[in-house]
Structure 1
């Protein structure tokens, strides 16, 4: 049974290379104002999941707030999916893709108010090679960029920008993919294959405008070339991209085979070079606090 008065704040101290003290202080103040109990857990990179699971078993919190990037959010989500515990997001990492996708504001106090609010969306979760994926996984040039970024010493958007040029020049694209999806087989060639439940990368690029977080399906998108005009369209809220640029397939499960090993990332975390991905979706198994406008639009647009 959940303790409605118990809140856990999970903080990644090194995410985004920023001091998290202001976040902790403001969360403490807001939680106290609501007469709730707060515990703070700081990740170390060692035994974090086990420690969070133990806290949940001992305290039964009603909500867990996360101050970190997508990696920390995925860590906490892996501890609570399938339960009634709600996840509240306070974006504080180098990559904040999930925050971008649910439309969180930039002001910290507003983020905290939403994280503690009653506006809760039950979202789907994709599993790719048994790794939890909350918004987008991909194979190809973007995963290669993330690998190069992680190996560099420069963080933030500047780090991504600097690594983009050597990635483009040194990549082995295009890649050849076979996609087995819901009793159909597709053979496609492209620079990037995305497995998407959400709409956007952490950069804000809207690669999957028709994606819905709670419709029981995900999209596989094969981007065929580096068409600058089409890429610029992804900066729009509802881009209409050419079928010559991207192939979109909606499905419940898929097996994806690459002719050669290809870089692979999940929610902004580089995994490895692989040849095969098995992906499937679990429907509405994770509760996330979201802005009211996002909740209303998602419930309105939800497909049967």
Structure 2
């Protein structure tokens, strides 16, 4: 097999050299590989060029959800199997795929594991694979990206400041093919999976391959309900979060609000158009 390894050197504030050494141990002389390290400068175009110049059998990604999103956008016109080496500050997509946390276990799955096709969401001009949102969580990610603290500890510490500084609740105009209505909340998410990268379960009924995504409207700050998200078996109160299943939606706000896609801060936006991209990505996973 011929592999393309895409490594994000700064994701998760973690050195990836140990992962690469373990990967090389798994491979033998029968396999070839090319290494590409992201720099934050024209990565999308550079990955597209590599994919156009050479034929690969599988793309292996060492990074977080944002790096997987980047590769998905680079592969929009072709579909190669993807393997994930979870190495981000938050690895929500890997968690939803039930990938093991130990590199000795997830590396063989990434390289040679069985694959499945999952949906994606077209969000304006970008692709979302996991969870994207307006409001509180996007504000947190914005603070996190400008902070020197990385990893889950960084999320936890920055969240304290963000909770006190948040300008929510916000008013969202939601338009689907069937209806148009207005809702208020501290956050509105577009979810194609169950969990945030922190492990919080916010969309218990979410499936990555059912041809639907969910609009999640978080109505208020509620500590008890937030703690429930850490338990996969807990059912969130409808007074805390409302869930709407859709294949397409337009979200509009009166004022620009912070927005993020798959853990990557975008900018303040007043309008987002989103629609389902069924079976858009082929990805290695843990077979149950």
What TM-score do the two structures reach when normalised by structure 1? 0.91
For residue 123 of structure 1, what is the aligned residue in structure 2?
Answer: 118
Task: Determine if contact 1:198/1:211 at 8 Å carries over to the other structure.
Answer: yes
The residue that corresponds to 2:2 in the other structure is: 6
Aligned to 2:70: 75
1:51 deviates by 2.2
Runs of 4+ aligned structure 1 residues displaced above 4 Å come to: none
State the 1:47 CA deviation.
2.6
Aligned to 2:95: 100
Aligned to 2:18: 22
Number of aligned residue pairs: give it: 288
Partner deviation per Cα, 1:177-201 (whole Å, 9 max, x = no partner): 1111122122111111010001110
CA distance in 2, matches of 1:84, 1:161: 36
Q: Is 1:128–1:277's contact at 8 Å kept on the other side of the alignment?
A: yes
Q: Quick check: 1:41 aligned with 2:31?
A: no
Q: CA deviation at 1:82?
A: 5.0
2:27 alignment partner, SS class: helix
Aligned match for 1:85, one of 43, 60, 80: 80
Alpha-carbon contact 1:83-1:285 (below 8 Å) kept: no
Contact 1:125 1:281 in 2 (8 A): yes
Pairwise CA RMSD = 1.4
How far did 1:118 drift? 4.0
| Whole-Å separation in 2 of the counterparts to 1:255 and 1:238 | 31
Name the SS of the counterpart of 2:82 in structure 1: strand
Report the secondary structure of 1:291's partner residue.
coil
How far off its partner does 1:53 sit?
1.6
Matches within 5 A, 1:207-226: 207-226=202-221
Q: Deviations over 1:32-84 (max 9, x none)?
A: 27x22111111222232222222212221010000112221111111224533
Moved more, 202-211 or 184-193: 184-193
Structure 1 unpaired stretches of 5+: 294-304
How far apart are the structure 2 equivalents of 1:82 and 1:240? Answer: 39
Query: Would you say the 8 A contact 2:73–2:126 is kept in 1?
Result: no
Q: Answer whether contact 1:31 1:38 (CA < 8 A) is retained.
A: no
Gaps of 5+ in 2: none
1:281 corresponds, among 254, 271, 276, to 276
Equivalent runs, 1:234-253 vs 2, <5 Å: 234-253=229-248
- Pick one of 144, 164, 168 that aligns with 1:149: 144
